[in-house]
Amino acid sequence: MTKQELELLEIAKEVIELNRDKGIRLTGSLMLAVRGINKRREAIDIDFICGHLPREKALFPKVPKGFRYYGSAGDTSSIESIPFVNEDGIKIEFMQSEEVSEDINGVTCACVESLLDAKM
């Protein structure tokens, strides 16, 4: 893992801890890095999946201090993601998925097969 990915991983671990009750799982390029999978580029953001994306801001997943919500993607009937960003431009995004999780080196991760399906 690169230095930047290690820094992102520390933030990701904090998010997982803040949201133990929501069952969030790390996914995306950072999850691949945690698994030791070689990829074309280093992770530049933090992606999570969770079983439900609430429409009410009061019920959104918790993020570390310094991150702010910057608008949901999706139409009026469903939310596709809940994105946050901090002053350094680090993005955290929550997306909905029911896929299974696996513990990789103490980090709750999504499965690789589901990530590949989503990317296709």
| 115 within 8 A of 32, measured Cβ to Cβ | yes
115 has pLDDT over 80: no
- Report CA-CA distances (Å) from 115 to 8, 57, 77, 83: 19, 26, 24, 18
What's the pLDDT tens digit per position in 44-90? 999 999 988 888 889 999 999 999 998 765 554 455 889 999 999 99
* pLDDT tens column, 87-106: 999 999 999 988 888 889 88
DSSP 67: -
Closest CA to 29 of 117, 118, 115, 89: 115
Short-list 4, 106, 3, CA closest to 46:
4
* pLDDT value for 3: 96
**Whether the predicted model's global pTM rises above the 0.75 cut:** yes
